[in-house]
């Protein structure tokens, strides 16, 4: 007889091995990301926002706060201005998210500029330069 909660084909041996949070929290994060991406694209009229990619959403344990990670996509405005525009629209977005997802208490939205792509490009450049330098130096 199998123990209740024992690792099986659908359960990882370590709780949270694939993602943090419970199933409901992960589903809500995914739905928040989908709805926010649509709302920001279609409903936010602030010219500072422009085209924004919502890269991920992280909910607090009590689901009261959602950190929304974003990257401006070919924007004419610097990330700080895009952040200001999104922060200004946060109340509207929170209300719409609550209505569209049928939430009694929609989480407070905190927008965070996601600079992972920039960091990755910088690291790739550093690696490329190091490899090129090694190729030029015949002593190695």
Give the right CATH number for 23-136 from 3.30.470.20, 3.30.300.20, 2.120.10.30, 3.40.1080.20: 3.30.300.20
> How would you class 85 by CB atoms within 10 Å of its CB: exposed for 0-12, middle for 13-18, buried for 19 or more?
buried
Task: Find the length of the chain.
Answer: 140
Find where tokens 């209740």 sit: 4
Burial (Cβ within 10 Å: 0-12, 13-18, ≥19) of residue 109: buried
What pLDDT digit, counting tens, does each position of 8-49 carry? 443 333 333 334 668 989 999 999 999 999 999 999 998 888
Query: Do 49 and 89 touch, CB atoms closer than 8 A?
Result: yes
Q: How far apart are CA 68 and CA 94, in angstroms?
A: 12
pLDDT confidence tier of residue 138, bands split at 50, 70 and 90:
low
Please tell me the pTM assigned to this model: 0.72
| Cα–Cα distance for residue pair 25/69, rounded to 1 Å | 16
Q: Higher confidence at residue 36 or residue 79?
A: 36
User: Could you tell me which residues are beta bridge partners of residue 66?
Assistant: 59, 109
């Amino acid at each position: 007889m199998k123990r209740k909660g024992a690792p099986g084909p659908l359960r990882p041996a370590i709780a949270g091995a694939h993602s943090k949070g419970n199933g409901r929290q992960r589903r809500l994060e995914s739905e928040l990301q989908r709805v926010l991406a649509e709302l920001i694209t279609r409903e936010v009229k602030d010219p500072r926002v422009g085209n924004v990619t919502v890269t991920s959403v992280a909910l607090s344990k009590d689901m009261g706060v959602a950190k929304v990670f974003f990257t401006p996509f070919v924007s004419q405005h610097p990330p700080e201005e895009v952040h200001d525009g999104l922060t200004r629209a946060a109340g509207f977005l929170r209300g719409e998210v609550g209505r569209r997802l049928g939430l009694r208490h929609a989480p407070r939205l905190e927008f965070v500029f996601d600079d992972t792509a920039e960091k990755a490009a910088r690291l790739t450049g550093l690696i490329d330069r190091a490899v090129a330098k090694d190729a030029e130096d015949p002593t190695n």
